[in-house]
Amino acid sequence: EQSSVTSYAATAVAIVTLEALAGMWINAFIVSVICMAWVKKKTLNSNEKILLVLGSSRFWFLCISWLYFFLSTMYHNYKYVHPIFQLLAVAHRFFNCSEVSVSACLCVFYCIKIANFRNSFFIYLKVKIDRMVPWLLLGSVFFSLVIGILLFELIDKPQCNNSTGLENLWKVKIKIDEHFLPIYFITGFGYAASFVAVILSVLLLLFSLWRHKCNMQTNSMKDLSMDAHIKAMKSILSFFVMYNINIISLILTLIYSAEGKSVMMFLIYVFQYAFPGVHSLILIFSNPKLKNTLLRIL
């Protein structure tokens, strides 16, 4: 039985490691290309700024997540060693919330740039969105930092005034489990806020696309605005799928972590580690500069 558990752990670590390395390579590629363009042009447009922060967040999220998963699988008792568990958990949640919220910013940016509405507030946003992007990114990082600090307080409380010796291991575990729900509630709040932004962006773009199609029905010529709408819809729908997977994974993690069903948890981790790389790959092929650079390298 011990050998089968060890074999399962080794297989899980090997699969997750391959996924994490692939995702880190893809996001490191995005960051490298944008940084080289930044050095050459001495400036970045709004889309590149968002992709730079998103790629960086996902790269570090995958690094921390891999370390978190490796220690959880191979050295389970590290969770009760102060402050290793607290620092890794906070870094994991910080970069996770950061990449989710920044990708929501990218989704909102596409919607405001491409959707056509005559509303005065929407026109104001369209004019000012390039100036707002740095503040949106700063707000996303600050929001993630606040969630990270709150999580640190919640995680740190169970181990305060407790030694980390084996005689107190069970007591510490019980106290950590008592704080299980608040941790997932706070993380879920971060997901939900970003998910609402994605849903609104999808609905607004769909409505704009439908209205634009109605106006262009009599025009048989190829319409550039229609192409822009469709490309944006493809990117935003990929965001939509990603957020659905993330929220479902969060709910399943809440259920199966409490029940200790390791096989289901492993499947959840496989999805969670695959999507940062897969979605970044979609972003690369939807960006001509990144796509051409990648094809030249390959």
pLDDT for 174 equals 45
* pLDDT at residue 181 in the model: 64
- Give the span between the Cα atoms of 32 and 221, in whole angstroms: 39
The answer to whether the beta carbons of residues 109 and 46 sit under 8 Å apart is yes
- pTM equals 0.81
CA distance 69 to 71: 6
| Per-residue confidence (pLDDT) for residue 195, from 0 to 100 | 79
> In the chain, which residues have pLDDT < 70?
1-6, 8, 76-82, 154-184, 186, 212, 215-229, 231-233, 235, 247, 250-251, 253-263
Predicted confidence at residue 201, as pLDDT, reads 82
pLDDT at 167: 45
Can you give the residue ranges of every domain in the chain? 1-157+167-297
∠ CA 96-131-204, nearest 5°, is 65
> What residues contact 167, with CB distance under 8 A and at least 6 apart?
none
Query: For 122-209, where are the E strands, in sequence order?
Result: none
* pLDDT per position as a tens digit, 148-180: 787 777 666 555 544 444 444 444 444 445 555
Q: What is the DSSP letter of 42?
A: S
**pLDDT for 168:** 47
Alpha helices in 42-83 (DSSP H): 46-74
Class of domain 1-157+167-297: mainly alpha
The answer to whether residues 245 and 100 touch, using CB atoms and an 8 Å cutoff, is no
As given in the structure block, the two tokens for residue 272 are 């969670």
pLDDT tens-digit profile of 2-16? 455 567 677 778 888
Q: Cβ contacts of residue 111 below 8 Å, gap of 6+?
A: 200, 201, 204, 205, 232, 236
Spatial separation of the C-alpha atoms in residues 135 and 236, rounded to whole Å = 21
Structure tokens at 273: 């580690």
